[in-house]
Amino acid sequence: MASHIVGYPRMGPKRELKFALESFWDKKSSAEDLQKVAADIRSSIWKQMSDAGIKYIPSNTFSYYDQVLDATAMLGAVPPRYGWKGGEIRFDTYFSMARGNAAVPAMEMTKWFDTNYHFIVPELGPDVNFSYASHKAVDEYKEAKALGVDTVPVLVGPVSYLLLSKPAKGVEKNFSLLSLLPKILPIYKEVISELKAAGASWIQFDEPTLVLDLDSHQLQAFTAAYADLESTLSGLNVLIETYFTDLTAETYKTLIGLKGVTAYGLDLVRGTQTIDLVKRNFPKGKYLFAGVVDGRNIWANDLASSLSTLKELEAVVSKNNLVVSTSCSLLHTAVDLVNETKLDDEIKSWLAFSAQKVVEVNALAKALAGQKDEAFFSANATAQTSRKSSPRVTNEAVQKAAAALKGSDHRRETNVSARLDAQQRKLNLPILPTTTIGSFPQTLELRRVRREFKANKISEDDYVKAIKEEIKKVVDLQEELDIDVLVHGEPERNDMVEYFGEQLSGFAFTVNGWVQSYGSRCVKPPIIYGDVSRPNPMTVFWSSTAQSMTARPMKGMLTGPVTILNWSFVRNDQPRFETCYQIALAIKNEVEDLEKVGINVIQIDEAALREGLPLRKSEHAFYLKWAVHSFRITNCGVQDTTQIHTHMCYSNFNDIIHSIIDMDADVITIENSRSDEKLLSVFREGVKYGAGIGPGVYDIHSPRIPSTEEIAVRINKMLAVLETNILWVNPDCGLKTRKYAEVKPALSNMVAAAKLLRTQLASAE
């Protein structure tokens, strides 16, 4: 039996690519230095999979930023503002599209389906002149071949590429992106021809949009695209890879009818109903790449259960045509459990990171071929039993408290308009109040202090003193800039979810369990293995300390339950909503303790609420009901004068705006500027929003510093669709990834723009 990996993490086991990218961006190293680090990571990945016995090893899944941006480069679809003159796309153009530069903003960034990974959204229109402008796919295939590894080159499929794009600025919103298919297919043909000439025998097209709710026109585009490519693909084995959920019956029928396609990769972890479609009708002579090893979570595979599933499929798909695979790319999991030296042995036995999942895939393939490693399967069975029976997983008091939530919708008793009036009497804020989202730059010195404290190299007293000094610096800066509602800058936190998880029961933590979020940004998701509760206050000391340093309102900064859930590796032995309710109760305790010590503005971030929205529309209502309910639980007990903020970023929020309103927050700050102010369109279309709202006025993921005039123009666009008395002025997101040299002038310009508009509004009255 054969084995296959859809894709693999790119950062390296110790985030080597992250540091190489940031060194290059800071002009501390050369392009050649960056390319060498990248080549070392790729060769290590290919060798690891080859040594593990994987037959179908992917190439071109490595990226310097993201795979969709790589496809944009391959197609030469560079927006005119970047000044690209043709030829092979180099780093300057590539990274300008991703990050912006001093002259022009970056392209929009949004979430990759329902994951915490992000991609750069292509900007397309009828006038784009596509050209073959990046030979990366062919170069990496040849690179692997020179190392003695024959790989399966992976391309973002042509239809998914277009469906994931958006009309460029100035192009009609209803422009049919699929109408560009005849223009991009010639480029794909060039790439395919070069791969064939280089010796490739397989090619993988990732077409993840097949799992979405597609209409007949969109499905027809897949049929047309692969019919057009059929002759070029002749002589190659072609794998169409889908992932993240089930296929509908109609989509499955379209998929297995595609011309020139040899194999189908299906997610059988999140797409369990797809198994029934396979059993009812699988085309004779085709390959099934069965994704039975979870590419999105870190729990060890239940090998006995997966082997049973594979044997059922073997009765439908001929034995030689059944390939064991991961459910999706392993990009969404940590790299290697071997690097975890601080996890206790029991929890460690329950886990499998990317390197271990590669071994699981091959072990299943060998077992299916009659070469079962009895010792490996026995150890796996023991770990599965241990996890199910461990007393550390269950807390009856927590389960009882969560069960008691049923029967109430946990709304605050007073409506938001009356609450805002009460809050204004207490806070006395100007119109267009200014604030930031929470974090301030995480300097090297600050990181050193946290690192040394964790390593017991400095005392707790020295640590507290250093953090207090950092908070004072951030508070003084905000007062100097004349920001209205302050934050303490979160110097005690490396990561917003990890920080809370470390203080909640039921969580475990890794040392090197890094996962790429976007570009060089990596996160270390906590592992929720058991019932969740809050043993002690988590932020009260730091928030009250910060408030004591200023007479201005100081926001208490919390991460909401849905975001903690969606940005963690979540236990898979109970429904996600049950775990979310447990987290909500823990955050509720923290909110009420913050209120008791005099924190009058409390922000409960739900950055990932939209991210968790199921890919299938039929499942939206149930998810939104429990997700929104979880948020309301956290703050239902506070006084009217306590102002509850929330924050959301880097997703498409327009389709859930009514659920956002139903959250009943007093103020929401929300990403807006990087997505070309897409959010504002929902208000132009008549949606009434009565709570406070701060659509971001500049993009914090770019080093570019916006001018006062540019920000004022943005605020005026907001005032055209939102009432003056509810509008807040703030950046898109937190500032931790930026440098103070960027933050100070950007915030100064933001405050100046708000003051300019206040003066103009006063004059108009």
Note whether 189 and 229 are within 8 A (CB): yes
Residue 659 annotated as binding?
no
**Residue 415: left if φ>0, alpha if ψ -120 to 50, beta else—which one?**
beta
Nearest to residue 579, comparing CAs of 569, 592, 589?
Answer: 569
Residue 658 annotated as binding?
yes
Residue 42 annotated as binding?
no
Cα 580 to the center of its chain, rounded Å: 18
Give 327-394 as a DSSP string.
Answer: SS-GGGS-S-GGG--SS-HHHHHTB--HHHHHHHHHHHHHHHTT---HHHHHHHHHHHHHHHH-GGG-
Residue 116 annotated as binding?
yes
| Catalytic-role residue among 118, 488, 629, 701 | 701
Residue 43 annotated as binding?
no
Residue 241 annotated as binding?
no
Note whether 558 and 605 are within 8 A (CB): yes
Give 38-63 as a DSSP string.
Answer: HHHHHHHHHHHHHHHT-SBEEES---
Note whether 181 and 225 are within 8 A (CB): yes
Note whether 240 and 216 are within 8 A (CB): no
Helices then strands, each counted (H, E), the chain:
27, 21
Residue 671 annotated as binding?
yes
How many CB atoms are closer than 10 A to CB 16? 16
Residue 605 annotated as binding?
yes
Query: What are the CB-based long-range contacts (under 8 Å, 24+) for 619-627?
Result: 620/656, 624/656, 624/659, 626/577, 626/580, 626/581, 627/562, 627/577, 627/580, 627/659
Residue 84 annotated as binding?
no
Nearest to residue 471, comparing CAs of 552, 546, 541?
Answer: 546
Buried b (16+ CB within 10 A) or exposed e, 287-325: bbbbbbbbbbbbbbbbbeebbebbeebbeebeeebbbbb
135 given a catalytic annotation: no
Residue 439 annotated as binding?
yes
Helix (H) or strand (E) segment spanning residue 202: strand 202-206
Residue 664 annotated as binding?
no
Instruction: Tell the residue number behind the tokens 């990403």, with chain if given.
Output: 671
Nearest to residue 557, comparing CAs of 477, 471, 637, 483?
Answer: 471
Residue 18 annotated as binding?
yes
How many CB atoms are closer than 10 A to CB 175? 15
Handedness of CA 431, 437, 438, 444 (dihedral sign): negative
Angle between helices 31-52 and 16-25 (to 10 degrees): 170
Residue 733 annotated as binding?
yes
Residue 328 annotated as binding?
no
Q: Distance (Å, rounded) from C-alpha 605 to C-alpha 420? A: 19
Residue 410 annotated as binding?
no
Residue 503: both structure tokens together: 């203080």
Residue 580 annotated as binding?
no
* Binding site residue list: 18, 116, 437-439, 490, 521-522, 567, 605, 647, 649, 658, 662, 671, 733
Query: Which are the catalytic amino acids?
Result: 701
Binding residues for L-methionine: 437-439, 490, 605
User: Which residues are documented as binding site for 5-methyltetrahydropteroyltri-L-glutamate?
Assistant: 18, 116, 521-522, 567
